[in-house]
């Protein structure tokens, strides 16, 4: 059984036992959370599609870790204008382990 969930403005296809990195969720490490924005649930040939979400469907997950992605270097330059700008960015993430899908 798989599900398509929406969190942090993005959509993820998840299966029970899978680990995914999503946008930061304010939760403690080891906490069980419930994701209720389930867009689609499928098992074999049968597929249930929500409009836009499935009512009563939830995905339970356990918070494995909180962390930050590797740094992205941003460099802007205008040739012959004596302009250079260096900048960096590290996005926060929450790693989740999907424990169950309730359709």
pLDDT 10s digits, 82-98: 999 999 999 999 999 99
Residue 8, domain member (yes or no): yes
Residue 28, domain member (yes or no): yes
* pLDDT per residue as tens digits for the range 12-65: 999 999 999 999 999 999 999 999 999 999 998 999 999 999 999 999 999 999
Residue 74, domain member (yes or no): no
Beta strands in 10-103 (DSSP E): 10-15, 19-23, 32-35, 38-43, 46-49, 58-68, 72-78, 83-89, 92-102
Domain count, the chain: 1
pTM: 0.85
Residue 75, domain member (yes or no): no
Residue 6, domain member (yes or no): yes
């Amino acid at each position: 059984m798989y599900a398509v969930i929406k969190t942090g403005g993005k959509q993820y296809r998840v299966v029970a036992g899978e680990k995914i990195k999503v946008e930061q969720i304010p939760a403690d490490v080891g906490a069980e959370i419930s994701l209720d924005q389930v867009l689609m649930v499928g098992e074999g040939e049968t597929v249930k599609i929500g409009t836009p979400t499935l009512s009563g469907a939830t995905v339970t997950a356990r918070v494995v870790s909180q962390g930050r992605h590797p740094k992205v270097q941003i460099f802007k330059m205008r040739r012959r204008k004596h302009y250079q700008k260096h900048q960096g960015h590290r996005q926060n993430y929450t790693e989740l382990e999907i424990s169950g899908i309730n359709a």
